[in-house]
Amino acid sequence: MSGQDPAAALGLTIFCAPARYVQGRDATWALGSELKKLGLDGPLLIIACQSARRHLDDVWAKTLGDLEIPFAVYDFGGECSDAEIERGRHEALRVGATTLVGAGGGKVLDTARAVALALELPVACCPTTAASDAPCSALSVIYSPDGVFERCLFYRRNPDLVLVDTRVIAKAPVRTLIAGMGDALATYFEAAAADRACRRNQVGGLSTLAAQQLARLCYETLLKDGVQAVAAAREGLVTPALERIVEANTLLSGLGFESGGLAVAHSVHNGLTQAPETHDRMHGEKVAFGTLVQLVLEGRDAALIEEVLGFSCAVGLPVTLKELGLETLSPEQAEDIARRALAPGETAHNEPFVVTVDALRDALFAADALGRAFIAQVARESSIMPDPIAEAPR
């Protein structure tokens, strides 16, 4: 086994998770006490986006102040890039931080984890949206300053604490919750593909039964609670359905993807970032379309694909290239996206068959055609549905 990872060489299963996960309405008020339980009493550097500061500055001052935990806040620059990570590292050294806290969306949390790695410090993740499964993971996605995917940065362990305040998440733009469901939508299908192919998960081992079941539960929760959660989020309300979808987007998807494995859907996302037209689309929106591409590529049953299309349209996820800004995508551009999605090391190679550029390019267009046909079908059915008010007897 010389030169090999023993876990990989021995075919070991590996499951990973954050040390502590806390979720609920006004959970931020417990931040100081939860950090104390883990022996993390500062000084803290909180890397935060503006929306996090707007909602949580006063809460941090109270909960951390009451426990005499010193902290400083660093304003996130907007992109998880090497330059932003380096700026965060310098700030952490300047304030003498012994623990990093990320408060914001996925890119903020990715940056906080990367700074913590550079300084070998513990880290807590406090997402203010449920837009991705990033909070629980032991990796960061690194982009160029212009938002083009560059690489994934892997860590030795998962965050020490993930604290999810659903009151804050309910106030976030509804689009972020929907995008998180798009990211979570891929979890079950990617984990199942990697498991069928006996491919390694994100931490270098084979998948456990627990990871596969969590991934399945993630998908089932989306179908059951997604529409209700969106309705609650539109009103800024915390309901049981919203709590369950936040858990699916954050914990179930986070554990499912990392310990289950990734496949085509996330590789398609990475390929799509090559197209400037997609840069204003969220990670989960592109992953959702990538899930359709994966299902087409795998030759899945029409009933399953229709179920995914129905869910996506019901909650507001994109199912066509037009919705991603690529209505006029040429075959040459599609081939470029496919080539990027199939670069060495990409998770598209975790499928139980060889994925070619030609097959992936065609699957992009086929998924788009199915999405357009489904939308047209729904529109036709809606146009012939009787108006219940007009039809009611007088």
Same domain, 317 and 337: yes
For residue range 367-391, what is the model confidence (pLDDT) as tens digits? 999 999 999 999 998 887 665 555 5
Q: Which residue among 121, 154, 171 closes a domain?
A: 171
| CATH code for the domain in which residue 372 is found | 1.20.1090.10
Per-residue model confidence (pLDDT) at position 387: 59
Among 133, 183, 225, 368, the active-site one is 183
For residue range 90-122, what is the model confidence (pLDDT) as tens digits? 999 999 999 999 999 989 999 999 999 999 999
pLDDT tops 90 at residue 360 = yes
283 is catalytic: yes
Contact present, 116 and 122 (Cβ < 8 Å) = yes
Q: Per the domain annotation, does 123 fall within a domain?
A: yes
Per-residue model confidence (pLDDT) at position 9: 75
Q: pLDDT band at 2, cuts 50/70/90?
A: low
Same domain, 280 and 142: no
Q: Please provide the average confidence, as pLDDT, over all residues in the chain.
A: 94
Same domain, 229 and 126: no
| CATH code for the domain in which residue 55 is found | 3.40.50.1970
183 is catalytic: yes
Total domains in the chain come to 2
Distance CA 246, CA 236 (A): 14
For the chain, the straight-line distance linking the first and the last C-alpha, in angstroms and rounded, comes to 81
For residue range 295-311, what is the model confidence (pLDDT) as tens digits? 999 999 999 999 999 99
Among 110, 165, 195, 266, the active-site one is 266
3 or 223, which is more confident: 223
Same domain, 152 and 202: no
Q: Per the domain annotation, does 392 fall within a domain?
A: no
Contact present, 35 and 99 (Cβ < 8 Å) = yes
Please count the residues of the chain: 394
Share of the chain above pLDDT 70, in %: 96
Q: Per the domain annotation, does 215 fall within a domain?
A: yes
Q: Per the domain annotation, does 206 fall within a domain?
A: yes
Residues sharing a CB contact under 8 Å with residue 18, sequence separation 6 or more, in sequence order: 125, 135, 136, 158, 159, 160, 161, 162
Q: pLDDT band at 393, cuts 50/70/90?
A: very low
Same domain, 298 and 240: yes
Same domain, 351 and 220: yes
For residue range 115-166, what is the model confidence (pLDDT) as tens digits? 999 999 999 999 999 998 889 999 888 888 887 778 888 888 999 999 999 9
Among 160, 165, 225, 269, the active-site one is 269
Contact present, 392 and 386 (Cβ < 8 Å) = no
Same domain, 259 and 327: yes
Residues sharing a CB contact under 8 Å with residue 192, sequence separation 6 or more, in sequence order: 212, 215, 260
Range name among 49-53, 90-94, 210-214, 364-368 with the lowest pLDDT average: 49-53
For residue range 277-300, what is the model confidence (pLDDT) as tens digits? 998 999 999 999 999 999 999 999
For the chain, the maximum distance between any two Cα atoms, rounded to a whole number of angstroms, is 83
Q: Per the domain annotation, does 13 fall within a domain?
A: no
Q: Per the domain annotation, does 279 fall within a domain?
A: yes
Q: Rounded to whole angstroms, what are the CA distances from 315 to 132, 230, 284, 308?
A: 16, 7, 13, 11
Among 55, 133, 165, 283, the active-site one is 283
Same domain, 67 and 96: yes
Q: Which residue among 171, 188, 211 closes a domain?
A: 171
Distance CA 322, CA 339 (A): 21
Per-residue model confidence (pLDDT) at position 1: 52
Same domain, 271 and 157: no
Q: Per the domain annotation, does 7 fall within a domain?
A: no
Q: Per the domain annotation, does 9 fall within a domain?
A: no
Per-residue model confidence (pLDDT) at position 156: 87
For residue range 228-248, what is the model confidence (pLDDT) as tens digits? 999 999 999 999 999 999 999
Domain extent for 140: 18-171
Same domain, 203 and 134: no
Q: Which residue among 153, 171, 189 closes a domain?
A: 171
Same domain, 361 and 265: yes
Distance CA 378, CA 383 (A): 9
